[in-house]
Structure 1
C-alpha cells in the first residue's frame, strides 16, 4: 500500500483536489486520460503542488469508487482504490492500468496524458488520427491495409510497378509475384482494397510502394525521409525526399555507398569484403524504419552518418509488447502488417521477420559492438550502428568456422563472442541477459563455443566463468591478454593463497576457491600441496576447518623481515 505521495505530477501521476468535491465526470476523465497513456496513479484529495488536503465527505467511503469508474468508462477500466493517511489527512490513491487500446468515457470523451514543452503533464483530447495511431500500435487495426481517402488507381505509377517486379528478382523475393497481372499483384500484396460495389481503391501500402510522388505528397503528407552525413558536426550531405519506398531504398543505398569504404580480407583462396557498414544490415535497418514508422505522426525517417556511427531513426515508438528487453526474441509485431508482409514477399527485408538478427550479425561478425537501441523512447525508435574499424583477424576466424560448419554461426554465439571481447570474462547468467533467453539456452551456447575451440571454461560449476580461448587470443595477436585473463599458473595460485593468509590470518577452502577461481577438487589439491611443503597448517575440521601459515613459510617471512 502506498504511504507517500509522489513529489510532483508526471506522465503517470495526477493530483486532484477534492475540497469542493471533485465531480464524478472529472474523476472519470482523469482515469481515461491516464489509461490512454502509460497508466499510473490518480491521487484524490491532493492539491496540484502535492499538498494533501483530504477527501470530501462524499468520497470518504471508497468502496463504490471502482465500480463507478468501471460503469462510466468504455471499455470498462478496472482501477484499484486504497485509502492513504498522510499527516492525519485521508486521501485516496487510485491505481489506473494502461489500456491496451482506446478508452473513452461513457459520454464519448477521449483524452490522453502527455508531457508539454515545459516538462509538465496535461490531459489533451485524442484526435481521430491519434486514436488510430494508438490502435495500430496495439495491433488492433492495420492502417497500411486501409484505403486512403481521395486516392484512385490513377495514383499508381507504372514505372514503380516495374520497379517492384525488378526488386523481386534483385532481392530474391517470391517469384510467384512475377507471374501475376497488375490486378492480381495488387490483391496479393494488399496494394488495393476491394469495395462493396466491386471497385478497388489504393491502400496506404499501395501508395507507399507504387504511388506517384505527387500523390504521396498530397495523400500521405507524413511520409518523408532524409539522408544526412555529418563530419565533426559539419553537414556534408543533407537531403529530404518523399519517394515511394522501393525507390527510397535504392536512393538511400546509392547515396550511402560513396561514404561506405570497403577493404578486403584474404581467407584462403577467397576475398572477403569488409565494409565500414554491412550493406545487409544497412538495408534491413533502413527498410524497417520506413516500414514500421507511425504514418500518423509528423516527422521524417532519418538515416544519418556520424563520425562514429550510422544512426537510423523513425517516428513512432516500439509497438505494444516489444521492449528493449525482448527485442531479440519476441515474435514480430509490425505496426503496418500489410506493408511489412509486402516488403517481405518482395524480398527487401528478412522473410522470417527476424530482421533484427540481420542487423546484429552485420556488426558482430566483424568484431564491432552490438547495435544500440538505448535512445529509443515512446515517440521514436533510434538505432545506432557503431562504425569503428573491423577486427580483421576475428572476421577471419568467423569465416573459417562458418565454412567448416557450412552454415552461419548462430546469432547467440556471435553475441557471446562479442560480450567476451568486451567483458573478457562471462558467466552463464550474464550471457542469458545479453541474448534475452533463459540460462539453459545461454549454457548451451557457451558449451557449443567451447567445443568449437572459441571459448574456455574456468572454475567450479557454481562459480564457473568463460573466456576466449588461447587460439582466439593468439589469432588476434593478443597472446598477453590471454595470459592475463586465463588466470595463473600453479605457482601463482600458491602465492595468492599465501598472500591472503598473511593478510587475513587464515583461509577457508571456499575462500580459496573464490580467490583462485578453481574447482573444489583443484583447491583441495593446492592446499594439500602447501601443507605438505610446510607452508600452511590445517586447523579444525568440518565446516570450521581453515588454514594458517605453516612453519617453513613463517621462517621465510622472519628471515625476510
Structure 2
C-alpha cells in the first residue's frame, strides 16, 4: 500500500488524483470546502483519490490535529445527493497523510450550495446543467427506474422485503406463479435485478422496492418521503416522519397515518344514510402512488406529504411528463416517468389498470360533493391539494340517486353535471373544455346525458341545461320558472314528433321523454289537448294520448 501511494505521488496529479496541502489551509472549515469541491468533481467524472498532506509538487508535508470521522461526515452533509467516501490515515516519511477515496457516482452530485463540479485533467471545473448528459438511459428507453446501479450487489437486497412482495403478490394475484420462484429468480423476472458477468446488480427500482435501508441511503438518498402533520390553526407541524425505506413499506406506514385521521360524515340519502369519508381511500392511494411513480428520482428534493385538518397537500419533485398539463390531466393517456416502478405497482395490484388514476380521483371527489383535486405545476415540481370539505350535499345526493337508477356516470359526465349545477347552463365548447376531450367526443357525452334525462339541449341558444326533473331533485325552481315557457314549447314539439312516429304516448312516457315532473307533464299535456293538438283515449291506467283527429 505504501509503495502504491508513493508511486501515485511520484506520478503527480491526474484526472483521478488530487493533492491538498494541510499546512496551507489550517482552518477546518476552509479545508472541508476544498475537499467537498474535489470529491464532487471526482464523483461526477471517474472517481478518484484525494491525498491530504501532499503539496502540488509532491512534497509530503503531512497533517496534524485531524478527526477522520468529522471529515467523512462533513463531506456527506455538504453534498446532494449525500456522498459516501472512504478515508485512511497513512504514515509516509514520518508524517501522516489522509487518503480519501471517492467512487464514481451513478447520478449528478452537487454541493449543498447547489454547485456542481467535474474533473478536467488535473483541475476541478464547474459543471453546468447544459453539459449534463441526457436523462434518457441508453438501452432503457429513458426509464430511469430501470437503470442498473453498477456498484450494487446481492448484499444490498433486503430479503425480508422480497418475502413481503411475494406475499402481497400471492394474496392479490391468485393466477400468478411468480411467488413460487426462488428470491433471485423472482427479482430477475420482475426486473428489480440484473445478472451482469455472473454478478447481481440492482436496478434503481430494485433499490427502491427491495433495497436495504443502507443501500437506499447510499444509492438513492434522495428517495425520501417526508410526512408532516399539522394541528388546527398552527403553521408549524407537530409531527414529522422521515421515510427512507422500501416503497411498499412506506405505503403501508403512510396509509396507516392516513386512515387514523380520515373521518366519516353521515349524509341522509332517501331512506338510508351514506357514510362519506373526508377523503376516499382509493383517491389518496392513487395520489400517493402517482407521486412515487411520476417523481423525478434524479431530483434531489423529497416527496413531501402534509396532513392539515381540512386538506392533504402532496408536493412531488419533477414537472408533469411531456404533453400533460392541468387542462388535459384527466384524459391524457398515462405516461409514467418511471415505467418499471409503474409496472411493479401494477403487478402488486396497487393499481387496477395502466393509465387509470387521475380520472378516478376527479370522479370520486366530485361525485361525493367535494372540490376537484387541485393541481399546481411548477418548473421542477407538482403540488396536489385534496380538500375534505363536503361542499355540495345536493350534488352528492343527486349523483347517488341517479347512479342507483341508471348506473355509474363517467368522469366526463360528472364534470359536466357539476359545471351545470354551478353555472346553470353549458355550451358544447365549454363542455369539451370541462371534460378535457374534443368537441366530437363531448357531443356523444352530452347525448348520453340527454338520453338519461339529466340535461336538455336548448337548440336556439346552443347550450344545455338540467331537465325540470333534475331541478326538482335540487329543489331549485329559479331556473325552472325562468325558462319553463321555452322548454315547455320545446317539449310540445318533442311530444308531437313522438306521436307522429309511435302513434301513442302516456303521461309516464312524457316524463321520461322530456325529463319533466308529474305536475309539469300533466300541464303540458293539458295545454296540448286544449289546443286540439292531441286527445286522450282510454280510461284510468289504460289511458293514452294520440294526435287529434278532426271529425
TM-score by length of 1: 0.59
Q: Residues 325 and 184 from structure 1, CA distance in 2 versus in 1: closer, same or farther, beyond 3 angstroms?
A: same
| Paired position in structure 1 for 2:464 | 466
Name the CA distance, whole Å, in 2 between partners of 1:151 and 1:362: 42
| Pairing partner for 2:476 from 473, 479, 482 | 479
Matches within 5 A, 1:100-139: 125-126=128-129, 131-133=133-135, 135=136
Q: Does 1:156 align with 2:153?
A: no
Q: Residues 169 and 226 from structure 1, CA distance in 2 versus in 1: closer, same or farther, beyond 3 angstroms?
A: farther
1:419 to partner: Cα distance: 1.7
| Pairing partner for 1:237 from 236, 239, 250 | 239
Residues 316-365 of structure 1, C-alpha deviation per residue, up to 9 Å, x if partnerless? Answer: 11122223333222222211111111111111124222211121122111
Listed as ranges, the gaps of 5+ residues in structure 2 are 1-107, 109-113, 116-125, 490-551
Q: Does 1:359 align with 2:361?
A: yes
TM-score by length of 2: 0.60
Matches within 5 A, 1:50-65: none
Name the CA distance, whole Å, in 1 between partners of 2:487 and 2:449: 29
Name the CA distance, whole Å, in 2 between partners of 1:418 and 1:202: 47
8 A Cα contact 1:345 1:351, kept in partner: no
| Paired position in structure 2 for 1:227 | 227
Matches within 5 A, 1:32-51: none
Q: Which structure's CA Rg is the greater one?
A: 2
Q: Residues 330 and 229 from structure 1, CA distance in 2 versus in 1: closer, same or farther, beyond 3 angstroms?
A: same
Q: Residues 473 and 288 from structure 1, CA distance in 2 versus in 1: closer, same or farther, beyond 3 angstroms?
A: same
8 A Cα contact 2:294 2:336, kept in partner: yes
Matches within 5 A, 1:55-204: 125-126=128-129, 131-133=133-135, 135=136, 140-168=141-169, 175-195=176-196, 197-204=197-204
1:162 to partner: Cα distance: 2.5
Name the CA distance, whole Å, in 2 between partners of 1:273 and 1:131: 52
Q: Residues 183 and 301 from structure 1, CA distance in 2 versus in 1: closer, same or farther, beyond 3 angstroms?
A: same
Q: Residues 190 and 372 from structure 1, CA distance in 2 versus in 1: closer, same or farther, beyond 3 angstroms?
A: same
Residues 140-197 of structure 1, C-alpha deviation per residue, up to 9 Å, x if partnerless? Answer: 42111112233212222222123223333566697443343323321232111231x2
| Paired position in structure 1 for 2:423 | 423
1:440 to partner: Cα distance: 1.8
Matches within 5 A, 1:262-341: 262-265=264-267, 272-341=274-343
Name the CA distance, whole Å, in 2 between partners of 1:245 and 1:292: 13
Q: Residues 284 and 492 from structure 1, CA distance in 2 versus in 1: closer, same or farther, beyond 3 angstroms?
A: closer
8 A Cα contact 2:143 2:339, kept in partner: yes
Name the CA distance, whole Å, in 1 between partners of 2:291 and 2:402: 32
Matches within 5 A, 1:376-525: 376-389=377-390, 391-406=392-407, 408-460=408-460, 463-476=461-474, 478-483=475-480, 487=483, 489=485
1:250 to partner: Cα distance: 1.0
Please state whether the residue corresponding to 2:133 is helix, strand or coil.
helix
Please state whether the residue corresponding to 1:235 is helix, strand or coil.
coil
Q: Residues 278 and 149 from structure 1, CA distance in 2 versus in 1: closer, same or farther, beyond 3 angstroms?
A: same
Question: What RMSD, in angstroms, separates the aligned Cα atoms of the two structures?
Answer: 3.2
Please state whether the residue corresponding to 1:429 is helix, strand or coil.
helix
8 A Cα contact 2:395 2:418, kept in partner: no
Listed as ranges, the gaps of 5+ residues in structure 1 are 1-109, 111-115, 118-122, 494-561
Equivalent residue pairs, number: 364
Name the CA distance, whole Å, in 2 between partners of 1:334 and 1:218: 25
